[in-house]
Amino acid sequence: MRLYSAFATVGGLSMVSRVLGFLRDILIAAVLGTGMIADAFVVAFRMPNLFRRLFAEGAFNAAFVPLFAKRLEADGNGSAHAFAEEALAGLFAVLLLVTAIAQIAMPWLVLGLAPGFATEPEKLDLATALTRIAFPYLMCMSLVALLSGLLNSLHRYMAAAAAPIVLNAVLVAVMLIAHWRGYHNDPAAGYLLVWGVFAAGILQLAMLWIAAKRAGFALRLRLPRMTEGVRRLLALGIPGLIAGGITQINIVVGTIIASLEASAVSYLYYADRLYQLPLGIVGVAIGVVLLPDLSRHLGAGNHTAAMDSQNRSMELALLLTLPAAVALLVAAEPIIRVLFERGAFTHDDTQATAWALAAFAIGLPAFVLIKVLQPGFFAHEDTKTPMRYAGVNLVLNAA
């Protein structure tokens, strides 16, 4: 029952966040449409999120949560607290370096993500400027990912699950201001959005830091050291980093191809937002709860309980995902029309986005099951098997 209660908490708060996210995207579509400014913002927002998924929510979280949860179960809070501070020091140092390099290399990074912008210097310059402002969001959200993993391992799911609500609430407020100021299809709206992203990241980090302190884990920032725990974290994290990199390569390839056609980046973005609703509420929510639960069961040597948790999670995921996939496939166009077709978002935009959504819907059950099955490998401290399967996936996509 505790597992289902945790699913309900994380899934319910994810639903609130996704609804606010849809409101955010409806306002962005109405104010920016699918033109140059919208494309530039999508790239600016995607860049830090790409690195966040690669470093923090992917490789780092897959390695950190099992190690932290097992220390918590076997050795108590003191050992787990020390390990969390070691991980924080290493992660913060890496984030500083990555952010500094990215700020210098930003024009080339933007071209790498959206090479089609090379033929439109104005769009490229705007995307570069917006991405430089938005990129420090990576630092905030990577630290949020560490604190979220810590809190989830303590069975304190609410603060971590509520954090994304802050981002969407801030961006909704920003878009309402842009609408009120008359910044329709105006670069000023793009700048408002990326500053809103940065501010939201700081608010989310503060929120999670306070929650961790109240849970008895007031982490201090130390100088990074290569301890035994950090070495084990790296040993597990590097295969996870490679697997996450392969996954992100697939996403980047899609963005590169889309950037070659006007507005295609925006079509994929809006379709992905809808596709992410069931994926986030079901797949991500179950994965978030399942990883620390499995890790603590395995840390206590209770393999039967771990298997039971895995099986119940798969059953629940399929029960909720299959109807959602059918609905998105069958009703893609009316859903897009109702949500986005207003202001600068035209009927032609609706049709193009609906085709993308229908394609995403076909793969939804499989992607949700990936989110449910991966924690089983990570809880066993096996990040190499997901890496191998990610490589197979890349080859199949390329073919």
Whether the per-residue pLDDT at 258 is higher than 80: the answer is no
DSSP class of residue 60 equals I
Maximum separation of any 2 CA atoms in the chain, in Å: 61
Whether the per-residue pLDDT at 64 is higher than 80: the answer is yes
pLDDT band at 161 (very low <50, low <70, confident <90, very high): confident
How many H-runs (helices) and E-runs (strands) does the chain carry? 17, 0
Rounded to a whole number of angstroms, the CA Rg of the chain reads 21
pLDDT for res 26: 82
What the block records as the tokens of 79 is: 């050992």
DSSP class of residue 219 equals -
Dihedral sign computed on CA atoms, order 138, 139, 142, 144: negative
Whether the per-residue pLDDT at 257 is higher than 60: the answer is no
Looking up tokens 């032609």 gives: 348
pLDDT for res 248: 61
Whether the per-residue pLDDT at 39 is higher than 70: the answer is yes
Read off the pLDDT of each residue in 12-33 and give the average, rounded to a whole number: 84
pLDDT band at 178 (very low <50, low <70, confident <90, very high): confident
What the block records as the tokens of 119 is: 């033929």
pLDDT for res 370: 86
What is 325-374 written as a DSSP string?
Answer: HHHHHHTHHHHHHHHH-STT--HHHHHHHHHHHHHHHHTHHHHHHHHHHH
Whether the per-residue pLDDT at 223 is higher than 60: the answer is yes
Residues 264-308 pLDDT 10s: 667 777 888 788 888 878 887 888 888 888 887 887 778 888 888
Whether the per-residue pLDDT at 2 is higher than 90: the answer is no
Q: Which of 306, 372, 339, 388 is nearest to 19 (CA)?
A: 339
pLDDT for res 397: 64
pLDDT for res 181: 79
Q: How far, in Å, CA of 310 to CA of 91, rounded?
A: 30
Read off the pLDDT of each residue in 17-32 and give the average, rounded to a whole number: 83
pLDDT for res 259: 55
Give the rounded percent of residues in the chain with a pLDDT score beyond 90: 14
Give the rounded percent of residues in the chain with a pLDDT score beyond 70: 90
Range of 2-16, 108-122, 135-149 with top mean pLDDT: 135-149
Whether the per-residue pLDDT at 70 is higher than 90: the answer is no
pLDDT for res 262: 56
Residues 350-394 pLDDT 10s: 888 888 888 888 988 988 888 888 888 888 888 788 878 877 776
Q: Which residue has the higher pLDDT, 230 or 165?
A: 165
Read off the pLDDT of each residue in 220-229 and give the average, rounded to a whole number: 85
Q: How far, in Å, CA of 165 to CA of 17, rounded?
A: 5
**Torsional class of 109: left (φ above 0), alpha (ψ -120 to 50), beta (otherwise):** alpha
Read off the pLDDT of each residue in 299-320 and give the average, rounded to a whole number: 85
Q: How far, in Å, CA of 221 to CA of 218, rounded?
A: 10
